[in-house]
Amino acid sequence: MASSIVVALESLFSPVNIGVAIVSALIITELCRFYTDPLGHIPGPFIARLTPLWLWKLTWSGVECRTIAALHEKYGPVVRIAPNEVDISDGVAIYPVYIRNGGFLKSPIYQNYDVNGSVTIFSGLDPGHRAIRAKAVTPIFAQKAVASGRPAVQSVADGMVTELERRKDEACGEPVDVLNLFRALALDTVTTYLCGESYGSVGKQRLSATAFVDDFVAGGRFFYLPGWIFNHVSDWAAKLDKNKVSIVASTEIIEQFATRVVDRSMAEEKGEGQTYQGRLLRAGISRDETIAQVIDIMFAGTDAAGMTMSLLACELARHPDKYEHARKELLANPDADPQCLPYLTGIIKESLRLSNANPTRFPRIVPSPGLEIPGLPTIPAGTSVGLGAYILHLNSDVFPEPQKFLPERWLNPTPEMLRDSFYFGAGARQCIARNLASAGLYWSAEALIRSDLLRGARPVDEKIEILEWFNAKVVKGKIELRW
């Protein structure tokens, strides 16, 4: 009797039966999910209903934006790209997602961008936490405050022109990497204006912050991973990185700079503080966190602005007629504020549009009772939703011939062009430094065009190829001009 029970149990728990049971359980779970799926009405590839793995793979491979753009062509303006993730391509959604009532909260994945364990103004999710810090530093980013910093920032731009001329002469017809120089320009601009001390990179042969910036950019390939997986994966990626020695050395230099300016402000700054770090310290933020906040802006201020200036220089070199037009405008208005010159404005906006320094969606969590936009499917509360600059900026309905560099299109922009210009994001969590970043671009572009250094220059590559990570990575690692 006992032996017949054992035989029966053995055959019941045979490997085949266990396998069948597991597969059946998975199928039943999936069917239940399928029929009770709150996002079941949102179109998208079947795999996106089942797992986020394929989206993580797209992100890692750097082809996320072009793949999702193709999905919008096929499925329409609202596409499901993961079990709980939706991408929208219609700029009409910018207002309800990012602007109305302060916009939806950032997705928890932004915590992947904490610095040295500190929540930064960029990575923070809690509006209360951010408000204390943002309130302390916002006055320094006001248009009037930025304008008063022009003499110091202008000297950085003038230094960039001198350095470019030196590199051009030294190159004797060989390519000159302008990405590295314009990153140096951006870092010196941000540190001069915000930290009260220049990082001092423009005159150097190669920017010491390069490996630090590249490493921060590379973190974007894991952006959508939940925090606990992100930490493991990025730790392993750092261990295996063939540049790990230069990353550590470069990051140390950045940390030393940030620590030095914070300690100096602790010792010397009085009142509410004049510098970025001084203002944070006065608002009661700890020394360690303030150092992390400075490191964060040293990255934010370098990467996007460096990329945008590089594209601007390449496009002006590629289009001598547009270059001539911009130069004539500047020479005819020697005393004008460059931000009031219409053609130069077109050049800056078109460079920001096409550089797509932050190409991917900026994910937010839909609050209760859900997102309703007339003409689009309802998106339930709890969904991660977002729009991205790459898709908005290359939408031919809003920007005809979207791949072409056409400053003229900004002489008479449509409301949709203004609405969909997403290079600084939108709403309460848009770029906190947009006035500084814009002014820096105008002043640097003015110095570059007035110097006439771009005359006779040609971009080495037809197109700047990027990997579509949260901060775009230039595939070649450099952007070159040749004279």
**How many whole angstroms separate alpha carbon 79 and alpha carbon 44?**
5
DSSP annotation string for 249-288:
HHHHHHHHHHHHHHHHHHHH--TT-SSHHHHHHHTT--HH
CA distance 270 to 72: 54
**Which member of 84, 378, 430, 451 binds ligand HEM (CB under 6 A)?**
430
CB-based contacts of 445: which residues, under 8 Å, 6+ apart? 309, 312, 338, 344, 347, 348
The answer to whether residue 424 forms part of the interface with ligand HEM (CB under 6 A) is yes
**How many whole angstroms separate alpha carbon 92 and alpha carbon 312?**
28
Of the candidate spans 20-28, 157-165, 301-309, 331-339, the one that interacts with ligand HEM by CB under 6 A turns out to be 301-309
Cis before 369 (ω within 30): yes
**Which structure tokens are listed for 219?**
């973190």
Contact flag: residue 224 with ligand HEM (CB under 6 A): no
The minimum distance between CB 296 and ligand HEM, in angstroms, equals: 6
Q: If binding is defined by CB under 6 A, does position 429 make contact with ligand HEM? A: yes
Burial of 316 (0-12, 13-18, 19+ CB in 10 A): buried
Pairwise CA distance, residues 472 & 475, whole Å: 9
Q: Does residue number 346 form part of the binding site for ligand HEM (CB under 6 A)?
A: no
Dihedral over Cα of 207, 211, 216, 219: its sign: positive
Q: Dihedral sign for Cα 66, 67, 69, 74, please.
A: positive
**Nearest distance from C-beta of residue 108 to ligand HEM, angstroms:** 13
Query: Which segment (47-55, 148-156, 255-263, 356-364) binds ligand HEM by CB under 6 A?
Result: 356-364
469 touches ligand HEM by CB under 6 A: no
Residue 242 C-beta: closest distance to ligand HEM, Å: 29
CB of residue 34 vs ligand HEM: minimum separation in angstroms? Answer: 32
The Cα 301–Cα 432 span in angstroms is: 11
Q: How far is CA 459 from CA 162, 164, 169, 201, 373, in A?
A: 20, 15, 16, 24, 43
Exactly one of 433, 439, 445, 447 binds ligand HEM (CB under 6 A); which one? 433
Interface with ligand HEM by CB under 6 A: which range of 214-222, 235-243, 326-334, 428-436?
Answer: 428-436
Q: Is 243 in the site for ligand HEM (CB under 6 A)?
A: no
Query: Is 279 an interacting residue with respect to ligand HEM (CB under 6 A)?
Result: no
- Among 42, 71, 140, 304, the residue binding ligand HEM under the rule CB under 6 A is 304
Q: How many residues bind ligand HEM (CB under 6 A)?
A: 25
Residue ranges in 269-369 assigned as alpha helix (H): 276-282, 287-318, 320-332, 342-355
* Nearer of residues 292 and 398 to ligand HEM, judged by Cβ: 292
Q: How far is residue 18's CA from residue 353's CA, in Å, rounded to a whole number?
A: 56
Site string for ligand HEM, 394-423 (x = CB under 6 A): -----------------------------x
Q: Which stretch binds ligand HEM (CB under 6 A): 64-72, 162-170, 338-346, 430-438?
A: 430-438
Is there a binding annotation on residue 431?
yes
362 near ligand HEM (CB under 6 A)? yes
| Interface residue with ligand HEM, options 357, 464, 479, 481 (CB under 6 A) | 357
Which CB sits closer to ligand HEM, 168 or 261?
261
Report the side by side order of strands in the sheet with 364-365: 78-82, 85-88, 384-386, 364-365, 105-106
Name residues contacting ligand HEM, limited to 119-158 (CB under 6 A). 121-122, 130, 134
Q: CA angle, corner 363, sides to 361 and 365, nearest 5?
A: 155
3-state secondary structure of 154: helix
Q: Is the dihedral of CA 122, 127, 133, 136 positive or negative?
A: positive
Which of 242, 219, 248 is CA-nearest to residue 231? 219
Pick the piece of the chain touching ligand HEM (CB under 6 A) from 6-14, 230-238, 426-434, 472-480. 426-434
292 binds ligand HEM (CB under 6 A): no
Place of tokens 């270059």: 323
Is 437 a binding residue for ligand HEM by CB under 6 A? The answer is: yes
**Residue from 305, 439, 457, 481 binding ligand HEM (CB under 6 A):** 305
For 377-431, the DSSP string reads --B-TT-EEE-BHHHHHT-TTTSSSTTS--GGGGSS--HHHHHH--TT--GGGS-
Among 436, 449, 457, 479, binds ligand HEM (CB under 6 A): 436
Q: Is 297 in the site for ligand HEM (CB under 6 A)?
A: yes
Give the one residue of 273, 301, 359, 459 binding ligand HEM; rule: CB under 6 A: 301
Applying CB under 6 A, which part among 149-157, 243-251, 252-260, 355-363 lies near ligand HEM?
355-363
Among 190, 195, 295, 348, binds ligand HEM (CB under 6 A): 190
Q: Are 369 and 70 in contact (CB under 8 A)?
A: no
From the CB of 424, what's the least distance to ligand HEM, in Å? 5
Task: Provide the binding-site residues for ligand HEM, judged by CB under 6 A.
Answer: 121-122, 130, 134, 190, 194, 297, 300-301, 304-305, 308, 357-358, 362, 423-425, 429-433, 436-437
Can you say which residues are annotated as belonging to the binding site for heme? 431
